[in-house]
Chain A
Amino acid sequence: MAALALDSAELYVAAAYALFAVLVVVYVVIVTTKLTRASNQAEVLSRLVREDDSR
């Protein structure tokens, strides 16, 4: 198995690592967005529940 020319090999290696980084970042952004939105909505709702109980 002959080693590729450095330029071509660099491109493949960079593509592999970049795709991995993009995948992880996209996953983290999706999960964090969902978590933040749910936590914020839960805070609002828990306040409504407390207000409703105190009446």
Chain B
Amino acid sequence: MQGKSLRSLALASAAALVAAFALVFAYAPLDADQGLIQKIFYLHVPLAIVALCGFMAGGIMAVRHLRTGDRRWDVRSYVAIHLSIVFGVAVLVTGSIWAKASWGHWWVWDEPTLVSFLIVFLLYCTYQPLRFAIEDAERQARYASVFAITAGAFVPLNFIAVRMAEAYTHPRVLSATGGQMPGAMRLTFIVALIAMALLFTTLWRLELAGKAAAARLRHMRRQLERPADPASRSVPPVTAVPARSSLR
């Protein structure tokens, strides 16, 4: 059942990505100022938005973990943050390519949006070393959740602070008034954003399935190592999310 829904989600993501890229290259008009390189924004900005939302979603899942004590929320939070870091790498790489094409430099230190995203990214890069430095599974999950909540709250604060900063050189794609995008560009951007959100959800579900299968494997190995005890010989379903296990 879960495999089927994951397959449907993967197909929806693939279709949305194809539609988005078709709109980017066949429908959206060329930007009068930047020309073709503006097309990078249809990739870079949705990736950045989804990565930041993923970090915040990780924080929300961590809140649920601390409130309920259910380890499944910790695993979900971990996977959301892990995936957001991967998306963050893509944001930095695509942003650097755009910067090189547009400004002639791969990186500019006096631009608040770039530096603030780098700070958020580097903050979350410490999540995994911090997490796996703790051996005890319960403490590991609890401390990781506290980190995810604190860092998750920092993301919107950081974003608001940057928006309030005066020195703007980074182009604004979205604003409270909808930015300066014409209709065709806005439609393309929205489709690209939806496609990226679907891709994130699909990859999140895929990695969760991988974690569940690995947990099931560990559970069975422990059972086989133990002396014969028929009462403990239950085989958990493949789709079960690990209840008590390390995420490694």
Contacts of A8 in B (CB 8 A): 101
Range of interface residues on B (Cβ < 8 Å): 35 or more
Q: Which of A3, A20, A52, A53 contacts B35 (CB 8 A)?
A: A3
Q: Does A19 lie within 8 Å of B216, measured CB to CB?
A: no
Q: Which of A3, A27, A39, A49 contacts B223 (CB 8 A)?
A: A49
Q: Which of B44, B210, B224 contacts A52 (CB 8 A)?
A: B224
Given A20-B47, A28-B206, A12–B37 Cβ distance below 8 Å? yes
Contacts of B214 in A (CB 8 A): 34, 38
Instruction: Indicate whether B147 reaches chain A with its CB closer than 8 angstroms.
Output: no
Q: How many residues of A contact B (CB 8 A)?
A: 33
- B interface: dominant SS: helix
- Tell me the nearest residue of chain A to B202, going by C-beta: A28
Q: Does A20 lie within 8 Å of B101, measured CB to CB?
A: no
Instruction: Indicate whether B247 reaches chain A with its CB closer than 8 angstroms.
Output: no
Question: Closest approach, in angstroms, between the C-beta of A9 and any C-beta of chain B?
Answer: 4
B34-75 residues with Cβ-Cβ distance < 8 A to A are: 34-37, 39-40, 43-44, 47
Q: Does B101 lie within 8 Å of A9, measured CB to CB?
A: yes
Contacts of A1 in B (CB 8 A): 33-34, 102
Among the stretches B109-117, B129-137, B154-162, B227-235, the one at the interface with A is: B227-235
A6-22 residues with Cβ-Cβ distance < 8 A to B are: 6, 8-10, 12-13, 15-17, 19-20
Q: Does B36 lie within 8 Å of A10, measured CB to CB?
A: yes
Give me the interface of B with A, judged by CB distance under 8 Å: 21, 31, 33-37, 39-40, 43-44, 47, 86, 89-90, 93-94, 97-98, 100-102, 199, 203, 206-207, 209-210, 213-214, 216-217, 220-221, 223-224, 228, 230, 233, 235, 238
